[in-house]
Amino acid sequence: MDYYLNIVLLAFINMIAVLGVAVFTGFTGLFSLGHAAFIGIGAYTSGALTYHWNVPFILAILAGMAAAGLSSLVIGVPTLRAKLRSDYFAIAILGFGEALRVCFENLSITNGARGLSLDELSGPVWVSGALVICVFLTRNLLKSRFGTMFMSIREDPVAAEMAGINLFRTRLLSLVVSAMLCGVSGALLAHRLAFIQPVMFTLTQSTQLLASVIAGGMGSVSGPIIISFVFTSLPEALRWLDMWRLPAYGLLLVVIMIYRPQGLMGYREITDLFRRKAQ
Amino acid sequence: MFLQTLVTGLSIGGIYSLMAVGYSLIFSILSFSNFAHGAVIMLGAYMGMALATKANLGLGLVVAGSVVGAGILSVCNERVAYAVLRRRRAPSLYLMISAMGCSMFLENMVYATIGARFYSFPEFFKRQVIQVGGSSLSLLDLFAFIISMSAIAALHIFITRTKTGIAIRAGVNDMTMCSLMGVNTDRLISIVFFLAGAFAGVAGVFLGIKYLVYPTMGWVTNKAYIAAVIGGLGSLPGAMIGGIILGVLETLVSTYVSSIMRDVFSFSVLIALLICLPNGLLGADTEEKV
């Protein structure tokens, strides 16, 4: 039972990060190859706080969230302000993630490449509580004026700007929100696995997050969440296929782009389906 | 010491240039970041290594084989993963996602089939060095630099002097107009992908000789992306200059500061550049594209 509980909790933690990428890539239409870096920042900030200074867990999570949000400004302000193509952002954040890993590996506060052993603080209550709060807040944000602005930028940046939307500020907001969600996910992950290491936050993880969002549907909250649950739990069921999991994800991305670019849910939510049935 | 560092930097810069030129070429014509470029480089290196170890070919034939192999791979990649999207006029985000998918697929297929082992090329140069003014220069480094520069010069002549080259430049300017003028754009794009793949093949072989051959070696392309941004995305001379600048600066940093800081440094250059010169060195002049 513990084993299944563990998988479900890891899937929940992953969902929070996927939610973050969904806000940025799914709703705002910018491509990110480095969100694992924000998870890493959240994990290391909260981990260092509880490890070195015995900070209460809730404060450590909030600090992880804030650190991820602030670090996203470092990368977001120069790249997004230039109002250039999103390629620049994708490349810059790729480099950001790599550079950050080098820092994690060489700082004494992170204990270098040997990793940091932590206490297992994030129990079922913490994880599911955080997930519910994150989903609720994200959904409200996306239903608000800001959500509409995000989507209009995704559909047509030029038209959105003509309609009076400040591209830079709106994109930056979306980035900060998504980085904060990843930070929370990282803080929970660090205290769930009770061990963190720089190699855990690499491009492989970023691409898995991205794959979940694209397969789930760009412009849907529930789609990516469902897919991320499948992506986290399926490998556990199909251990013997582990080798072929990543090639399959890659192929899946290509196939989805060619045959069903809107993903599993498209622009709809799971609740829309039930609503239609009720009518 | 300084001369030695400079030559090492130039040779790395030459390889970065080769990668950046291929990447820029595709960017200039389809305006999306081909994230699968790194995987093509990696497979080019594997092909070169197979030719060198299994067939015992010399360096010239190894490079030629991997140029053709990587070129064909790159064309197939375009046909399978991008052509449909391109004809549908899908947003460039979709093309980038598809490219990312290809890169994941190819890289992890190598993991799953060939394995994560590190391979090394047979020594073509037996660590030969030549003495110039008290510093010893590696023959391989000089050779890599000369080959990269000649390949880029050949590309420049091809693009400026031949009919196909003119068609490519026209396509960069306006694809629709180009197709109205009777250019077969599908064929044109295939040629561009072949060229980019060929450059990836050369870069892959030299990277493999200089370092090692392994599934994630394609991630050096991060540096090529940075080089392309330094020079201005989509500009070929820019990609070349950017590659050399990055290679030399990086080597200087790792020699005189610390090798750990090298990647952090490259990334900081990118950020600084995006703040001060967001269009890169040559990107602002759109007339000079290609």
CA torsion sign, A211 to A183 to A114 to A91?
Answer: positive
Given a cut of 80, whether residue B77 has pLDDT beyond it is yes
Contacts of B227 in chain A (CB under 8 A): none
pLDDT score, position B125: 65
Q: What stretches in chain A show pLDDT beneath 70?
A: 1, 82-86, 238-239, 273-279
Let me know if B152 is exposed, middle or buried by CB neighbors in 10 A (0-12, 13-18, 19+).
buried
Beta strands in chain A (DSSP E): 116-117, 195-196
Contacts of A98 in chain B (CB under 8 A): 222, 263, 267
In terms of pLDDT, which residue wins out, B174 or B279?
B174
Contact between B266 and B223 under an 8 Å Cβ cutoff? The reply is yes
What average pLDDT does range B116-143 have in this prediction? Answer: 75
pLDDT band (50, 70, 90) for residue B289? very low
The pLDDT mean for chain B works out to: 83
Let me know if A98 is exposed, middle or buried by CB neighbors in 10 A (0-12, 13-18, 19+).
buried
pLDDT score, position A179: 93
Which 88-117 residues of chain A touch chain B by CB within 8 A? Answer: 88, 90-92, 94-96, 98-99, 102-103, 106
Q: What is the ipTM of this complex?
A: 0.80
pLDDT score, position B195: 93
pLDDT band (50, 70, 90) for residue B286? very low
A81 forms beta bridges with: none
Q: Chain B contact for A214, CB < 8 A?
A: yes
Which 118-157 residues of chain A touch chain B by CB within 8 A? Answer: none
pLDDT score, position A229: 85
What average pLDDT does range B211-239 have in this prediction? Answer: 81
pLDDT score, position A276: 57
Pick from B249, B184, B168, B262: which is nearest to B220 by CA? Answer: B262
Beta strands in chain B (DSSP E): 129-132, 135-138
A244–B266 C-beta distance less than 8 A: no
Pick from A25, A36, A172: which is nearest to A93 by CA? Answer: A36
Contact between A16 and A137 under an 8 Å Cβ cutoff? The reply is no
Locate the chain A residue with the closest alpha carbon to B229: A88
pTM, full prediction: 0.83
Contacts of A211 in chain B (CB under 8 A): 101, 104
What average pLDDT does range B2-6 have in this prediction? Answer: 82
CA distance B173 to A211: 33
Range A2-200: architecture per CATH: Orthogonal Bundle (1.10)
What average pLDDT does range B238-266 have in this prediction? Answer: 84
pLDDT score, position B290: 32
Domain boundaries defined on chain A:
2-200
B274–A203 C-beta distance less than 8 A: no
In terms of pLDDT, which residue wins out, B193 or A194?
B193
Given a cut of 80, whether residue B152 has pLDDT beyond it is yes
Q: Give B237-241's long-range contacts (Cβ < 8 A, gap of 24+).
A: B237/B156, B237/B282, B237/B288, B238/B24, B238/B280, B238/B281, B238/B282, B238/B283, B239/B17, B239/B20, B239/B21, B239/B23, B239/B24, B240/B17, B240/B20, B240/B21, B240/B152, B241/B281, B241/B282
Q: Three-class SS of residue B142?
A: helix
A87–B27 C-beta distance less than 8 A: yes
What average pLDDT does range B226-237 have in this prediction? Answer: 81
